[in-house]
Structure 1
Amino acid sequence: MRPTIAVYFCMVWSNTLFFSGMPILFMQSQHLDIKSSAIYSSGVFLAGVLGDLSGGLISDFILKRTGRITLARQGVIAVSLLGGLAFFVPVLISHNVMTITLCLSAAFFFLELTIGPIWAVPMDVAPREAGTASGMLNFGAAIATIISPIVFGAIIDSTGSWTLPFAGAIGFLLVGAIMTLWIRPDRKVADLQAFHTVATVR
């Protein structure tokens, strides 16, 4: 579970940009009023809802079609994080509100693709302790959710720019994508315990 927790931490760190600051981003960087900011933000969040559903469907489809659980979990998660990273980049360089909105929507869609497969991992690796494993996964997300808004706020207040928070999110997504290589949904806790028991007896 350790690499899975680390990956989810990186994803949620970046995701918190949407939940903690999306309307403020449009108001400050694009100088929109509250109503317009809310409308643009709603479009971004709608894309995230579609990503939530799509991630689970895609992961299940790959698993049923190929029988490869690592591809269904690791593959979808890696594509999710790299897709989010790719669409964050134009946000840093564009000044057009529609371009920024579309890129943020695409980024949020890709990031939310992670939810289905990454929450399936606890049940894959620890079917008898899925509750404990899921709690461990959510612990990593909660830590990111607690820390990141404070960091984002401090940076934006001191610089007046959203560039560094997005650049940091891109860095975390890159680290998370690399860390997916260590996620092993094909290894179950019971199998590892049996292996260690046999090794001890020998």
Structure 2
Amino acid sequence: MKIFQSTTHYNYDWEHVSTANWQKYSPWNEKTPHVIAVDTLSRHVDPASGVLRTERLITCEQNCPKWLTAILGGDSKSQVYECSYVDPKSKTLTLCSHNMTYADLLSVRETVVYTPSAHNPESNTQFTQTAKITAFCGGWQKIKNKIEQFTVDRFVENAAKGREGFEMVLERAREVFAQERERMEMSQRA
């Protein structure tokens, strides 16, 4: 098993980030053209804790080597299951996801946590990302290591694009929120 970890900060408060998260795969994000569908499977709020739990299925068009799909079958579409928890009391947004496509050959389990930054909780949000990558190749340790390292390297590239794209979403959300606030203020004055 190989592990990828990354921590960064966004210059937006937690409320802004946790709200904009639902637009992460929208047209506002030019870095996610590979995401072709996001289906919400379930969503509910726990009445005791106030935690919003959402399950989604994310379908992607992957740039998979043709020789691999020829050997394993299937096509270039892959699916990821995501379960998220928004806890407004502790101001924590946690997303847990894992691949469903080729899961018997490669397991990618990702956890993302958004919390107010310890240094500036009023206007910054900390983003922590961890991925555990495990290839299942029987006793072929050398092949297993190469597959896991290739996947980690690809994960590093995609994570950088993902953070860059989410910055676009956050900026666009700021504009939309400002326009909505202005519209509400104008209607209250009228």
TM-score range (shorter-chain normalised) is: 0.3 to 0.5
Structure with a larger share of its residues in helix:
1
Question: Whose strand proportion is higher, 1 or 2?
Answer: 2
Tell me the TM-score normalised to structure 1 length: 0.31
Relative contact order, higher structure (CA 8 A, sep 6+):
1
- Return the TM-score normalized by structure 2: 0.32
